Amino acid sequence: MPIGIGPDHDALADSLARFAAREAPVERTRAQFEEFARGDRPAFWEQLVGMGIPSLHLAEEYDGAGAGLLELAVALEQSGHGLVPGPLLPTVTASAVIQSHGTDTARKALLPRLAGGATGAVAFETGTVTLDGDGDEVVATGETVPVLGAPGAEILVLAGRCGERSVWFAVSASDVGVEVVAEEGVDLTRDIGRVRLSDTRIPAENVLGADADEVAAIVAVLQCAEAVGVARWAQETSLAYAKIREQFGRPIGSFQAIKHKCAQLFIRLEVLTSSVWDAALAADSGDREQLALAAARTATVVRREAVDVVLDALTLLGGIGNTWEHDIHLYWRRVVSLLALGGSPDEWARRAGELASTTERESVLGVPDRPDFRAGVAATIAEAVALDEAAARVLLADRGLVAPHYPEPYGLGADTAAQLIIAEEFDRAGITQPSTVIGEWALPSILQYGTEEQMERLVVPTLRGEIVWCQLFSEPGAGSDLASLTTFATKVDGGWRIDGNKVWNSKAYEAHWGICLARTDRDAPKHRGIGFFLVDMSAPGVEVRPLREANGDSMFNEVTLDGVFVPDADLVGLPGEGWKVARTTLANERVAMGNTPVAGGYRFDPVEVARSLDPDTRYDALPALGRITSTTGALDALAHRSVLKRLSGLNPGVEASALKAASAHHITDVTAQVLEWFGPEAAVGSLGADVSGGGRAAKAYLATPKLLIGGGTLEIQLNVISEQILGLPRESR
């Protein structure tokens, strides 16, 4: 999904998409490479200015629209998607830097010009430019690094060395001592060049009050927004090709390898998009520390990955993708140019690591305020805090706060906003909102398909913590393919006899009840003829055997059902509709606040681990810390986008699917990295229940297989995404 969320962002993106298709088709751009390299303005520039796109983010007092960098990011994403040529990105980057860090005099003099159609450019680094003088003016001499948009720019934001620090300043291309030398660019749709300064006088009002990191943050957010648009076009183009290109008599998109690659591209793009969205929000917050952290993270996550996404999309196109005639190479060139111009990826990662050590990203979901409701929730939680654990659980359950999304009398029928308010109040009180764990899968099915007697007997005790559930779905011969189960339910007087084996059942050793799928009709198609049974785990014939895992724990179990009698009263729904019951979730699902877990049952904060290292090791660890915390931040943002879509009444399914697939591998990367930080200490002491230090890191890493397998392997998830979200055909047999 695009960066923007909601109808206003959709309208902005759609307007630019139609404009690009009409005024800047790629075939027309191809015919004007030489003109663009000289810095000539495209013929549509005045129309784009008339639409207010270059001034979208500028304050109204400077003739802008008064929107923020988030709206500008939406526009730049679409500009990248349409490969809009010319000076839009360098111009809005220049005006954004001046608006954020310029003097009042500079803003009043320069921003209305840029809003009115003047073009601009920003140098990311100082090059050989030096500055002398102070007070009323400084004098600049030297040559810049290559600057995107410089040959056609009227207003240049450049940098020079003044002693030990970098200083940014604004000059006009027509000022005395300013010379721009055009270069041949990798991006054939825009101009690039170096600026030579010869004793160029810069008045004090044109010296910007920003350091290198502050300018870099703005540049990074805007460049990454455009890079995401480029990557999105490549992903969509390769996906469309996979649907129509045939090999061996069928579309290549039906081959599992191609389906998985398309799904991975989609997942990677969702992560990139969320990172840019989060950085744009930080830019609009006005908090420079938050912007610095979020920008460093998005530069770390997006810049190189966007290049790789386009390259992988190109390879999906096969040989045709590597020809001059196919447009994808022009998109690839653009994003490669952005990578080269945006600073060292390693330095961005180090910067992200440094900031992660001192700053936490503050995420504001914008939950609608319901003061009376919030006050009532807070009062109930305060009552619970004063009680012992068991009594508190009963109180919270009876007041509807254990599963507030359930209908009354079991919950509050809480919508997304209400659930978020409740979560915030639990967090404010410093206690964890109770969970029924596997009950969160069992109870929705009972509430929708169960009898009144089943609800009365099982729902309230579960919410109160008196009943623990397990899930008896997977079998030794039917893992992710649940419908291939061979556990059978045979009708007997007063109920059913169940025989079979179930495996990978968490909580089975302590569960009171299990939800069990068993085949009631051996001759029915595999998704039919299945019953959904409630199994008393203390019933005769139920045998639970713990399965010891690679990390030494026994979270999972194997359950043998040998002639287990289940009364008719414990069948949920009709005998043949168990598959439908099993797939049930309430229409109003539980909403999580959306923070990415770090290490399963052995959670630890990689920032805290890095802080505990000796100074030399910690310094060397900063780039790795930056990379993993940047990805964590992107996944958190992806989860937050899902929540916001719920708040807006939109379907969050795309983000949820991508998050599930991306999180497991990321957690594996985090645990592996922490393992490396502990060095030799991680080679000892991983089997005990109270391990610490390196042994705990090893135990966390050894616990990762269940994250990669549980709830369906990654391969199954990729199949689901490729077929149900991306629309690729099933593999024919």
More confident residue, 431 or 187: 187
Region of poorest pLDDT, from 153-157, 462-466, 548-552: 548-552
Residue whose entry in the numeric block shows the structure tokens 């520039």: 45
pLDDT at residue 592, as a whole number: 54
Region of poorest pLDDT, from 77-91, 658-672, 680-694: 680-694
**Highest averaged pLDDT of the listed ranges 366-370, 512-516, 546-550:** 512-516
pLDDT at residue 233, as a whole number: 98
Q: What's the mean per-residue pLDDT of the chain?
A: 90
pLDDT at residue 588, as a whole number: 45
Q: Is 158 helix (H, G, I), strand (E, B) or coil?
A: strand
Whether 153 and 141 have beta carbons less than 8 Å apart is answered as: no
Which stretches of 441-480 are assigned E, i.e. beta strand? 469-472
Region of poorest pLDDT, from 188-202, 292-306, 436-450: 436-450
Whole-angstrom CA distances from 220 to 276, 330, 569 are: 9, 21, 62
Percent of the chain with pLDDT over 70: 94
Residue of 169, 85, 57 whose CA lies nearest to 122:
169
Determine the distance from the C-alpha atom of residue 519 to the mean position of all C-alpha atoms in its chain, rounded to a whole number: 39
**Highest averaged pLDDT of the listed ranges 57-61, 257-261, 441-445:** 57-61
pLDDT at residue 650, as a whole number: 58
Percent of the chain with pLDDT over 90: 67
**At residue 263, what is the residue type?**
A
pLDDT at residue 365, as a whole number: 66
* Average pLDDT of span 480-502: 88
Q: Report the alpha-carbon distance of residue 48 to residue 23 in Å, rounded.
A: 10
Region of poorest pLDDT, from 44-53, 111-120, 261-270, 690-699: 690-699
Q: Which two tokens stand for residue 81?
A: 């998607």
Q: Where residue 200 falls among pLDDT bands split at 50, 70, 90? A: very high
Q: Report the alpha-carbon distance of residue 583 to residue 441 in Å, rounded.
A: 9
Q: Where residue 716 falls among pLDDT bands split at 50, 70, 90? A: confident
Residue of 168, 182, 178 whose CA lies nearest to 199:
178
Determine the distance from the C-alpha atom of residue 514 to the mean position of all C-alpha atoms in its chain, rounded to a whole number: 34
Whether 222 and 69 have beta carbons less than 8 Å apart is answered as: yes
Task: Write out pLDDT tens, residues 573-609.
Answer: 999 889 888 877 544 445 554 455 444 445 678 999 9
For the chain, the maximum distance between any two Cα atoms, rounded to a whole number of angstroms, is 101
Residue of 266, 314, 255 whose CA lies nearest to 729:
255
Check whether the bond before 409 is cis (ω within 30° of 0). Answer: yes
Task: Write out pLDDT tens, residues 17-39.
Answer: 999 999 999 999 999 999 999 99
